[in-house]
């Protein structure tokens, strides 16, 4: 019986830690001028590796809108495998080419931000968040879903 109680307490503790980790992650998405920006806060004692399969900013296809390549920030540090790692935060950018029609009529765009947080000894599962950006009269508004 005592073993069962210990196992249950350990499971509760692990779930609490996972909940705390999930609450400390924050992603912000915005359009400023002709640039789509995603800021990912990286919790203390964690890092985010520059791996485009797991860290990305994508959007649904929309006629009259073209996204440029992802611009990664300078800095970070290379690990033993030569992979660049970022700590504290990372800001990914993509240029936008918005047609005159879309600038006039406005549009709603779904943005997908993917990331994978890692400790020195292991990585969490990759995650993806979805954002909806309403662009009206040259003024984008963000709604987090």
Number of other residues whose CB lies within 10 A of the CB of residue 32: 10
In a domain, 81, yes or no: yes
> Residue 67 belongs to a domain with what CATH number?
2.60.40.1250
Q: Is residue 114 part of a domain?
A: yes
Domain span holding position 124: 26-144
Residue 15 in this model has a pLDDT that exceeds 70: no
In a domain, 31, yes or no: yes
Establish if 111 belongs to a structural domain: yes
Find the length of the chain: 145
Domain assignment present for residue 3? The answer is: no
Instruction: Flag whether pLDDT at 86 surpasses 70.
Output: yes
Please report whether residue 16 resides in a domain.
no
Q: Which residues of 1-145 form beta strands (DSSP E)?
A: 26-32, 35-41, 47-49, 56-59, 65-71, 77-78, 84-86, 89-98, 107-115, 117-118, 127-136, 139-144
pTM of the model: 0.75
Would you say residue 33 has pLDDT above 90? no
In this structure, is residue 20 part of a structural domain? no
Q: Does residue 144 carry a pLDDT above 70?
A: no
Residue 17 in any domain: the answer is: no
Give 80's pLDDT tier (boundaries 50, 70, 90). Answer: confident
Q: How many domains would you assign to the chain?
A: 1
Residue 20 has pLDDT above 70, yes or no: no
């Amino acid at each position: 019986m005592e073993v069962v109680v210990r196992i249950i307490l350990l499971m509760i503790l692990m779930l609490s830690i996972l909940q705390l980790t999930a609450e400390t992650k924050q992603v912000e998405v915005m359009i400023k001028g002709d640039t789509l920006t995603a800021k990912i806060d990286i919790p203390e004692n964690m890092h985010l590796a520059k791996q485009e399969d797991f860290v990305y900013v994508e959007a649904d296809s929309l006629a009259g809108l073209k996204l440029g390549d992802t611009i990664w920030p300078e800095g970070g540090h290379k690990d033993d495998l030569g992979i660049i790692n970022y700590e504290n935060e990372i800001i990914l950018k993509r240029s936008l080419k918005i047609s005159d029609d879309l600038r006039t009529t406005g549009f709603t765009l779904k943005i997908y931000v993917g990331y994978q947080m890692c400790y020195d000894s292991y990585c969490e599962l990759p995650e993806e968040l979805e954002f909806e950006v309403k662009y009206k009269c040259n003024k984008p508004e963000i709604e987090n879903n």
